[in-house]
Amino acid sequence: MANSSCIKIHYFDEDGRAEVSRLVLVWAGKPFEDVRIPFEEWTEVKPTMPLGQVPVLELGGQKFPQSLAIAAYLAREFGLYGSKNLDSLKIDVIAQTVFEFRIKASKHYYEKDTKKKEDLAEDLIQNEAPFYLGFLERYLVENGGNFMVGDSVSLADLIVYDLLRSELGKFTQPNVGKFPNLQKLVEKIANADCIRVYNASRN
CATH class for the region spanning 85-193: mainly alpha
Most confident of 4-8, 74-78, 109-113, 123-127: 74-78
pLDDT value of residue 176: 78
pLDDT in tens, 155-187: 999 999 999 998 777 787 787 789 999 999 999
Q: Taking the CA atoms of the chain, what radius of gyration do you get in angstroms?
A: 17
- CATH 3.40.30.10 domain position(s) in the chain: 4-79
| pLDDT at residue 1, rounded to an integer | 57
In this structure, the strands spanning 7-12 and 56-59 are antiparallel
Euclidean distance between CA atoms 152 and 148, whole angstroms = 9
CA 133 to chain centre: 15
Q: Which of 9, 10, 12, 14 is nearest to 166 (CA)?
A: 14
Identify which of 129, 126, 105, 128 has the alpha carbon closest to the alpha carbon of residue 117: 105
86 burial via Cβ count (<10 Å: 0-12, 13-18, 19+): exposed
Predicted pLDDT of residue 94: 98
Residue intervals in the chain for CATH 1.20.1050.10: 85-193
Instruction: Express each pLDDT in 85-107 by its tens digit.
Output: 999 999 999 999 999 999 999 88
The band of 6, judged by pLDDT with boundaries at 50, 70 and 90, is: confident
Secondary structure (3-state) at 23: helix
3-state secondary structure of 49: coil
pLDDT above 90 as % of the chain = 83
What's the mean per-residue pLDDT of the chain? 94
Domain 4-79 has CATH 3.40.50.10800: no
d(CA 135, CA 26): 27
